[in-house]
Structure 1
């Protein structure tokens, strides 16, 4: 007995080829991509701590800014001017911002970069404000 097979035709045959030729600069960043700064943050005692991996970036090329409740890290990995056979290292600028937790004291900030790990800590000195209850009035 002969079996019949039905072949489903893909209505847009050029789409898989389009994805294969999609420019790399529009794809999601990978773990080795310089623009993908990996961070971790936590509260330790009375301080908010944010750590960022910045391997290959010297501390002189890192700028930490706090303004209006945002912590921003800007850095640049510069390329050495030597003739290379091959380079898989990414060079250029990067930036990453995080929102500070409530009660963060923007005047109490410390930053340290050791072995490619940037650690920024912000004091939580203002304390948490009590919730305010608002009386709801009935309009007449």
Structure 2
């Protein structure tokens, strides 16, 4: 079998790799996420259009991992037409050191889930003395 993947130096390697990968989410997540720091908080924004935050979106935190799961189910019927949409999404996000996971706040507005996690003021690092061998 001959591959459509170009030799090194070609202008289109990413596009051709995309066509040869499993459709549509090979190596990608269907839930788009961005993260950044803003005024002493770690902010995560997830694109989840058409969700009901009370029913469809679930957040859990364990250690330094935040898990965002969502499930969309929608059905529309008229006398002439029926249409349904569904899908489940899951992302596990590693949180940076120093996040206060007891104070996580989440809001949902126009298809965007925003999660704000304050950073702790105090550091939990300490120096560990090194003893000489045999002492």
In the other structure, the counterpart of 2:124 is 129
Find the counterpart in structure 1 of residue 105 from structure 2.
110
* TM-score (structure 1 length as normaliser): 0.67
TM-score (normalizing by structure 2):
0.69
How far apart are the structure 1 equivalents of 2:128 and 2:62? Answer: 29
**Structure 1 residues without counterparts, runs of 5 or longer:** 1-11, 17-21
- Rg larger for: 1
- Structure (1 or 2) with the greater strand fraction: 2
Comparing 47-56 and 118-127, the one that deviates more = 118-127
C-alpha separation in 2, matches of 1:56 and 1:44 = 27
Match in the other structure for 2:63: 68
Q: 1:112, CA displacement in angstroms?
A: 0.3
Residues 27-106 of structure 1: pairs in structure 2 closer than 5 A: 27-29=23-25, 36-60=30-54, 61-82=56-77, 83-84=81-82, 91-106=86-101
Please give the root-mean-square deviation of Cα atoms over the aligned residues, in Å: 3.0
- Cα distance change of structure 1 residues 92 and 28 upon mapping to structure 2, 3 Å threshold: closer
For residues 36-94 of structure 1, give each alpha carbon's deviation from its aligned partner in whole angstroms, at most 9, with x where no partner exists: 1111111112211100101122212111111111111111110314334xx7x852111
User: In 2 relative to 1, CA 90–96 (structure 1 residues): closer, same or farther, beyond 3 Å?
Assistant: farther
Structure 2 gap ranges (5+): 5-19
Q: Which residue of 2 aligns with 1:3?
A: none
